[in-house]
Chains A and B, each alone.
Chain A
Amino acid sequence: MNSWRLTTRRFIFCLMTSALIWPCAFAFEAGTGPGFITHGDNRMTPSVQSWMQTSFGLLAGITNSGEKNSAFSQQTALAHVSYATSLPGSQSLEASLGLGEIFSRTTLSKSGEAGTRASHISQAGGIAMGLRWKPALLGRKLKFRLSWDTLYVPPGLSVLYFTFGHAQSVSTGLGWDF
């Protein structure tokens, strides 16, 4: 059996590769902030969004939200991985396009015949699109961001329980450029 060993040549190769990749791959912006999610039926719930964006435009974000009313309680997460780029001719506007997933866990308040509360876990995938406003207000490292993301689940694929196929997320946030 061949075992992989770290030789001097391999070490130098890894070091050189890392040095080449480092400036672009490991320069990133990360942040978090409050906002709200709108569901397909116009319900609006408070949310918290966290994101990370590399310098070459790869953007990953997740928005968490919760709701409790007399009929049910629900936790929702809206996640996406997208490619983000500045709009031509604009210094502060940015758009993104990618794939997203919505997860929700709903527990009905009314107990069933057996005395248990019905709980539903559902998820659906779709196309994630976003528009962001990132003005240069707070200096070079600290970034203010206003984002407006949407997840479009094509008709027929929406199997979510009390969440529906179309969700929008509007968030403000502060990020740090690492």
Chain B
Amino acid sequence: MKKEFLVTLCTISFLCSSRAMAFRAGLSGGSLGVGTGHSNAADFASPVAYKAHVTFRNKIDLSLAATHLLVGRVYEFNSGAFVLPAAGFILDGNGSGPGVSALFGFTFFCWGVCFYSEFQQQLGFGPNRKMVSGYSARIGLDYTNEK
């Protein structure tokens, strides 16, 4: 656990010390599936369903939620749609381990802050040679300090 914490700290330090001081950051909440069966309804009262993220100028995105800790790269379309492949640490109802994620999102209604909706799928290696997977469908708000 100490090693994972140090790797995360180093990654954040590297990102902050690079030319990527301009950023976009946001918080989103919604519906989670944690590998235990059916899709769940959106639950905005539960902190577990929330995700925080920060995207730096170089399009590197760092996101943290109860279900993952991921680093990826954002690919943005002119229409406001974006795709974010990422890798990192994944947790679901059956365990946790290293894994990958694919996020599909859409940004809309920007007045200083932007609303965005996203769907994220995850897949990883869990304990005892089992897999961990899951999904989340969220809606959130983004703030950017870029001009």
Contacts and interface: CB of A to CB of B under 8 A. Distances in A.
Interface of A: 38, 40-42, 44, 85, 87-90, 93, 95, 97, 127, 129, 131, 148, 150, 152-156, 158, 164-166, 168, 170
Given A38-B133, A87-B75, A150-B121, 20 more contacts: A40-B37, A40-B39, A42-B35, A42-B92, A42-B132, A42-B133, A89-B75, A95-B104, A148-B102, A152-B119, A152-B137, A153-B39, A155-B31, A155-B38, A158-B38, A164-B38, A164-B39, A165-B33, A165-B38, A166-B39
Size class of the B contact interface (CB-based, 8 Å): 20 to 34
B83 A87 contact: yes
A10 to B, nearest CB: 40
A37 to B, nearest CB: 11
Interface string B53-96: 00000000000000000000001110001010100000010100
Contacts of B37: 40-41, 164
B46 interface: no
A131 B83 CA distance: 9
Interface string B3-42: 0000000000000000000000000000101011111111
Given A41-B37, A155-B41, A168 B121 contact: yes
B123 A129 contact: no
Interface string B89-110: 0001010000000101000000
B41 A41 contact: no
List 4 tightest A-B contacts by C-beta distance, closest first: A87-B75, A165-B39, A155-B39, A42-B35
A152 to B, nearest CB: 6
5 contacts: A42-B94, A95-B75, A129-B121, A150-B135, A166-B38
Given A42-B94, A90-B75, A93-B75, A168 B39 contact: no
B101 to A, nearest CB: 10
- From A40, A42, A150, A152, name the one whose CB has the most chain B CB atoms within 10 angstroms: A42
A89 B74 CA distance: 11
Nearest to B85: A131
A127 B83 CA distance: 15
A21 to B, nearest CB: 26
Contacts of B135: 150, 152, 166
Given A93-B75, A148-B123, A40 B137 contact: no
Nearest to A44: B131
Given A38-B131, A150-B135, A93 B85 contact: yes
A156 B123 CA distance: 23
B131 A42 contact: yes
Contacts of A168: 121, 123, 133
